[in-house]
Amino acid sequence: MLELRRHQWLEMLAEAWDSYPLEGCGLLVGASGAEAVERFVPIRNEARSSRIYRLDGSQYAKAAVQADRDGLDIIGVMHSHTHTAAYPSPTDVAEASKPLVPPDWHWVIVSLGWGYPELHSFRILDGGIAEEPVVLAN
Ligand SMILES: [Zn+2]
Residues 6+ apart with CB under 8 A from 15: 24, 25, 26, 40, 42, 78, 80, 110
Distance 39 CA to ligand 1 centre (A): 21
Strand partners, 73: 30
C-alpha 36/C-alpha 4 separation (Å) is 6
At 73 the pLDDT is 97
Does the pLDDT of residue 44 top 90, yes or no?
A: yes
Write the pLDDT tens digit of every residue in 110-129: 999 988 899 999 999 988 99
What is the Cα–Cα distance from 27 to 39, expressed in whole angstroms? 8
Separation of CA 48 and ligand 1 centre (Å): 14
Give the integer Cα–Cα distance in Å for 86 and 88: 7
The confidence score (pLDDT) of residue 114 equals 87
pLDDT of residue 33: 87
Q: State the distance from the centre of ligand 1 to the C-alpha of 33, rounded, in angstroms.
A: 22
Report pLDDT digits (tens) over 55-80: 999 999 999 999 999 999 999 999 99
Q: What percent of the chain has pLDDT over 70?
A: 100
6 CA to middle of ligand 1, Å? 23
Question: Between residues 104 and 115, which one has the greater pLDDT?
Answer: 104
pTM for the structure as a whole: 0.96
Residues 26, 51: Cα–Cα separation, whole Å: 16
Main-chain dihedrals φ then ψ at residue 34, nearest 5 degrees: -75, 160
Distance 104 CA to ligand 1 centre (A): 18
